[in-house]
Amino acid sequence: MPVDVEKLVLVKYPDPCLRKICEDITVFDDELIAIAERMLDLMRAHHGVGLAGPQVGLLKRIFVCNPTPDETGNEMVIINPVIGETSGAVVAEEGCLSLPQVTVNVRRAQRCVLRAVDLTGKPFSKTIDDLPARICQHETDHLVGKLILDYQSPADQIANRRILKVLEEEYRKLGKTRRAR
């Protein structure tokens, strides 16, 4: 079924699509390019460093990222990613565009190998570290329905309890038409 690209908008917690498993992308066409451009626009509009398919209601293995959101030129479109060969471990605070104002201290590999394909379906692999590695691990989590909430310590849970309640209430108010998927 064709995707209405203009209608893709940022999806927030607790929308159930954030917990779904995404499918590999197998068709590399103009629609995929339009989806990627739309996702890049939404990421920029929300000043994010990354945005994954489920965050726009699309259950496909795609994410966009930009470790330097204040400058253009470093944006990447990553399709069918697999994280391999990890090393090191760093704990750092993360946020998520689908969980505004929520922060969680997440332990991630400092370095990893990212295997994926580009917009033409061509495979590539690269070794990445520090912030790009963190972003790619966070976004790849999204593609299997995993959120930073799953890494919360008891202290994080207490700190985030109130804002999660607010997000749940806002989602209820969205109404059925908006969230029908």
Residue ranges that bind Zn ion, judged by CB under 5 A: 96
Quick one: 16 or 123, whose CB is closer to Zn ion?
16
In the complex, which residue's CB is closest to Zn ion? 96
Q: How many CB atoms lie within 10 A of CB 108?
A: 23
Residue 177: CB minimum distance to Zn ion, A: 25
In the complex with Zn ion, the residue whose CB is nearer, 8 or 96, is: 96
Give the shortest CB-39-to-Zn ion separation in angstroms.
13
**Cβ nearer to Zn ion, comparing 95 with 121:** 95
Which among 176, 178, 171, 143 has a CA at the least distance from the CA of 55? 143
Round to whole Å and give the CA distance between 117 and 109.
21
Q: What is the closest distance, in whole angstroms, from the C-beta atom of residue 142 to Zn ion in the complex?
A: 6
Pair 63, 52: CB distance under 8 Å:
yes
Residues in the chain: 181
User: Per the structure block, which two tokens stand in for 31?
Assistant: 């629609």
For Zn ion, give the closer residue by CB, 76 or 96.
Answer: 96
Q: DSSP letter for 84, please.
A: E
- Give dist(CA 76, CA 178) in Å, integer: 29
Instruction: Provide the token pair at 16.
Output: 């159930």
Give least dist CB 106 to Zn ion, A. Answer: 11
Among 139, 168, 169, 170, the one annotated catalytic = 139
Does residue 139 have an active-site annotation? yes
Active site residue ranges:
139
